[in-house]
Amino acid sequence: MTRTTTTGRRRRMAVVATVVVVTVWGAGGGVAGADDPPGSTSSSAPPAIDSSSPGLMLPDGATLAAAKVLDIKQIVEEEGGEQRREDTNVDVTFALQAEVLFAKNSAKLSPDATARIRAIAGEVRTQGSGRVRVFGFTDNLGTYEHGLKLSKERAVAVQQVLARELDPGTSYDIRGYSEDYPIADNRTEEGRKKNRRVEISFPRTVPPPAAP
């Protein structure tokens, strides 16, 4: 993983370019559905693996679970972490920290938030995506029930801006997950800040941008 700082918008970028074969029990890949948790696995078929190969060095009696292939992922994050973009071969995900969208414990969008969401809507149009997922998340402070309500209200607020910018035929999956699916450590304020976010994701039709 590499991190560089550029001039202009001063973005911090981390690039992960690894195809991983995961030998765990579980379902196959494909684009995540409306009821699936955040994240997705590749639509590519996993490679054939000879379970009897001595190179695997399996202990006696051990067997391999079904393999799945994870997508190559490229992540670009603004210097302060306010906005992060994740590109895979399957979809595009934007994560916006709650602080740049809302006041504390509020679901009312700020003027700056509207501009950011409109810019993301432009990327949805570029991809020609007809389906968008908008998921809200909180940290683990306060009650879980309050987090569910607030995260859903924030996701709805973001979706309403997208709906004004996108084709009327666009379909939306809107979820509030409260403190579930953290992306950072909730034991620190820095981690909690990253976890308080709204994610906008949609299928990819245009190849991912080349890494600088």
What element of type H or E holds 118? helix 111-127
The residues with which 102 forms a beta bridge, in sequence order, are 109
pLDDT in tens, 192-209: 999 999 999 999 887 766
Give residue 49's pLDDT.
72
CA distances from 41 to 33, 79, 209 (A): 11, 28, 19
Report the percent of the chain where pLDDT is more than 90. Answer: 55
Mean pLDDT across 151-155: 98
Q: Is the pTM of this model over 0.75?
A: no
Residue type, 206: V
Q: Is 98 exposed, middle or buried (0-12, 13-18, 19+ CB in 10 A)?
A: buried
On whether the CB atoms of residues 82 and 97 are closer than 8 A, the answer is: yes
Give residue 187's pLDDT.
95
Query: Helix or strand or coil: residue 197?
Result: strand
Q: Is 81 exposed, middle or buried (0-12, 13-18, 19+ CB in 10 A)?
A: middle
pLDDT in tens, 80-132: 889 999 998 889 999 999 999 999 999 999 988 999 999 999 999 999 999 99
Q: CB neighbours (10 Å) of residue 102? A: 22
Give residue 44's pLDDT.
56
Tokens found for residue 5 = 């700082």
pLDDT in tens, 12-71: 444 333 333 333 333 333 334 555 666 544 555 666 777 677 777 777 777 777 776 666
Q: Please state, in angstroms and rounded to a whole number, the distance separating the CA atoms of residues 98 and 179.
A: 13
